[in-house]
Amino acid sequence: MWTDGRLCYGGDYNPEQWPAQVWAEDVTLMRQAKVNLVTVGVFAWSRLEPAPGRYTFDWLDEVLDLLHDGGIRVALATPTASPPPWFSLSHPGALPVTADGVRLHHGSRDTYCAAAPAYRDAARRVAAALADRYAHHPALALWHVHNEYGTICHCEQTARAFRRWLSARHGDLASLNDAWATSFWGQHYSDWAQISTPRATQYLANPGHLLDFRRFWSDTLLAAYTEQRDLLRAANPAIPITTNYVLGDWVPVDHARWASEVDLVAIDHYPSAVDGGAEEQTALAADLARGWARHATTRRPVTVPSDTATPPDPAPAWLLMESAPNQIHTAGRMHTKEPGRMLRHSLAHVARGSHGAMFFQWRAPTGGAERFHSALVPHAGPDSRVFREAVELGGALERLTEVRGDVEASVALTVDAASGWALRHPGLPSSRLDHHAEVTAAHRAFWRAGYACATVSPGDPLDGYRLLVLPALYLVDDATTGWLREYLHGGGHLLATYLSGTADEHARVRLGGYPGALRDLLGVRAEEFHPLADDDHVRLCDGGTARIWTETLRLAGAEVVSSYDGGVLDAMPAVTRHRTGAGTAWYVSTRPDDATYRRLADTAAQAAGVVPVCPAAPDGVEAVRRRHADASWLFLFNHTDRQQRVPARGVELLSATPVETAVTLPPGGVAVLRERG
Give the residue ranges of the annotated binding site: 109, 113, 147, 153, 155
Helix (H) / strand (E) containing 255: helix 255-258
Residue type, 413: L
Reduced to 3 states, what is the DSSP secondary structure of residue 39? Answer: strand
Do the beta carbons of residue 551 and residue 472 sit within 8 Å?
Answer: no
Region of 567 please: left (phi>0), alpha (psi -120 to 50) or beta: left
Residues 6+ apart with CB under 8 A from 334: 327, 328, 372, 374
CB of 268 to a copy of itself, least distance (A): 14
197 or 440: CB nearest a copy of itself: 197
The residue among 7 and 532 lying less far from a copy of itself, judged by its C-beta, is 532
Nearer to a copy of itself, 512 or 615 (CB): 512
> What is the C-alpha to C-alpha distance for residues 476 and 486, in angstroms, rounded to an integer?
15
Tell the smallest beta-carbon distance from residue 175 to a copy of itself (Å). Answer: 13
- Report the first-to-last Cα separation within the chain, whole angstroms: 20
Could you tell me the CA-to-CA distances from 122 to 88, 224, 372 in Å, in that order? 11, 11, 31
How far is the C-alpha of 556 from the C-alpha of 514, rounded, in Å?
12
Rounded Cα–Cα distance for residues 524 and 517 (Å): 11
- What is the smallest separation between the CB atom of 510 and a copy of itself, expressed in angstroms? 8
- CA-wise closest residue to 449 among 610, 637, 601: 601
Which residues, in sequence order, are bridge partners of residue 266?
Answer: 244, 319
Burial class of residue 103, CB neighbours in 10 A (0-12, 13-18, 19+): middle
Write the CB contacts of 649 (distance below 8 Å, at least 6 apart in sequence).
Answer: 659, 660, 661, 673, 675
Query: Looking at beta carbons only, is 386 or 396 nearer to a copy of itself?
Result: 386
CB-based burial label for 380 (10 Å; 0-12, 13-18, 19+):
exposed
Distance CA 446, CA 412 (A): 10
Residue 377 DSSP SS3: strand
Q: What is the 3-state secondary structure (H, E, C) of 507-573?
A: CCECCCCECCCCHHHHCEEEEEECCCCCCCCEEECCCCEEECCCEEEEECCCEEEEEEECCCCCCCE
CA distance 119 to 251: 20
Task: Could you list the residues known to form a binding site for substrate, using ranges.
Answer: 109, 147
The answer to whether 322 is a known catalytic residue is: yes
Report residue 1 CA to chain centroid gap: 22
Residue type at 52?
P
Measuring CA to CA, how many Å separate 71 from each of 14, 26, 140, 302, 448?
18, 13, 11, 21, 41
Q: Which of 49, 148, 505, 652 is catalytic?
A: 148
Q: Is there a catalytic annotation at residue 49? A: no
| Tally of residues, the chain | 677
Tell me whether residue 76 or residue 256 sits nearer to a copy of itself (CB atom): 76
CA–CA dist 55, 460 (Å, integer): 45
As a whole number of angstroms, the distance between CA 374 and CA 327 comes to 6
DSSP string, 157-199: HHHHHHHHHHHHHHSSHHHHHHHHTTTGGG---SSGGG-----
- Choose the catalytic residue: 49, 280, 322, 438: 322
Residues carrying an active site annotation:
148, 322
